[in-house]
Every structure is written in C-alpha cells, then in structure tokens.
Amino acid sequence: MPDPKSALAKHPFFAGIDPAIVETLAECAHGVSFPAGQFLAREGEPASGFFLLESGTVALELHRPGRMPIVLETLREGEVVGTSWVIAPYRWSCDVRAVEPIEGIAIDARCLRGKSESDPQLGYELLKRFLPLFVQRLEAVRLQLLDVYGESPA
C-alpha cells in the first residue's frame, strides 16, 4: 500500500493543493483495502471519515428492507467516498459497498476536523473541495429519483 502522503499529493481531489496541507492531511490518513462485497460504511453509522479511491469501484446505495437496494451512484478510481463527516450529526446517509476490490486512503474525520478548527486555511480549502461534491451527490440523487418516479411515456 502506498505512502499516504504521496497518495494524497497524487490524488485528483487534492490537485494543486498546498504541500503544507498535504502534510497535515497525511497526519490523519492511512491506507485501506476492502474486498468486493464488503461495506465501507452503513447508513446511520457514525461517519468517522472519508475515502480517496485509488482503485476499485464502490456503490452508494439506499437500503430497502425486503428489496434490492437502490444504487444512487457508482464511484471509481480518483473519486472521493464520503461527505457525511463534514456536517453534524456526522452519520452516513447511505450504504457504501465495494463492488470491486478497493485500495485507497482513509482520512480520519475527528483528526481532520480538529486540525481545521485550528487552521482556518485548511478548513477553507477542504470546504472549497467538498461543496462541489455535495452538489454532485444531490444531483445524482435527483436524477435517480427522476428515473424511479418519473412519468411513464404517454
């Protein structure tokens, strides 16, 4: 598994970020791997961090008792998994399941929130990078709802 600092510096999500911020992020990071089928997170569980995907595929799913889950979005190499760590109450809003084996970097939310509180530049940089993710994920849910509940052709 690669060194978290070099992986962070190369990950598209942190492209162009100040190297000093990469140093700070690396203090909260560690490498992870998950086999296909394993859940990285479950809806309602504490959102203790987020993941940077280096390889593999995950599905963001809505659990439906007695039925197949609804796949809201599929994320791949170079993408970020997890925005729920940013806003209280810090709970996962959906299930995250590895569709293929995953290699990536996990970032500890408590560590990162603490560092952001004491370093406003870090907090602002993270906010600029995570706000577009919120919009993107909301749009994916909106499109999924249109697909599921849209009008049938006349």
Give the pLDDT band (50/70/90) at residue 135: confident
Domain containing 89 equals 4-146
Question: What is the bridge-based pairing of β-strands 80-81 and 49-55?
Answer: antiparallel
What pLDDT is recorded for position 148? 67
**DSSP secondary structure letter of residue 99:** S
b/e per residue 63-84 (b: at least 16 CB within 10 A): eeeeeeebbbbebebebbbbbb
The pTM assigned to this predicted structure is 0.86
User: What's the CATH code of the domain at 89?
Assistant: 2.60.120.10
Q: Is residue 153 part of a domain?
A: no
Q: Is residue 13 part of a domain?
A: yes
Number of domains in the chain: 1
Q: Is residue 151 part of a domain?
A: no
Q: Contact, 32 vs 20, CB < 8 A?
A: no
* pLDDT (tens digit per residue) in 28-57: 999 999 999 999 999 999 999 999 999 999
Q: Is 146's pLDDT higher than 90?
A: no
Q: Contact, 33 vs 55, CB < 8 A?
A: no
Span between the terminal Cα atoms of the chain, in Å:
54
Q: Is residue 152 part of a domain?
A: no
